Every structure is written in C-alpha cells, then in structure tokens.
Amino acid sequence: VQLPFCEVHISNVHKREAFRHHSYLSDVAVGVMAGFGVMGYTLALEFVIAQLDA
C-alpha cells in the first residue's frame, strides 16, 4: 500500500547541526514541513488530506 506522507520537523533542521540535514524519507515524501513548530503537524495533515482528495 502506498500512502502519501509528509515529513515533519518542529525546528528548521537546516539551521541546526550538519548531521540533521540528511533525511532518509524526504525523497519519497509528498512534502516536508520544517520550522513551523507544532503547527507543522496540522499543516502536514491538511496537505496530505488534500493529496488524498486529489
């Protein structure tokens, strides 16, 4: 089963340590949310729902 998903990071990982810059999932995710705090979870969920409805 292939389900769209969005990778979520509370902080902006690109402003943090270099080892946090690499992701094993972003190349297959439909989106990446970073730096929006906990609001990123809501934004990602709304985005994934929109992808399912499309």
Q: Give domain limits for the chain.
A: 6-53
> What confidence tier does 2 reach under pLDDT thresholds 50, 70, 90?
confident
- Global pTM reads 0.80
Residue 8 confidence (pLDDT) above 90: yes
**Other CB atoms within 10 Å distance of the CB of residue 40:** 19
Give 54's pLDDT tier (boundaries 50, 70, 90): confident
Question: Is the per-residue pLDDT at 15 higher than 90?
Answer: yes
23 CB contacts (<8 Å, ≥6 apart)? 7, 32
Give the pLDDT of residue 3: 85
Closest CA to 10 of 47, 53, 42, 54: 42
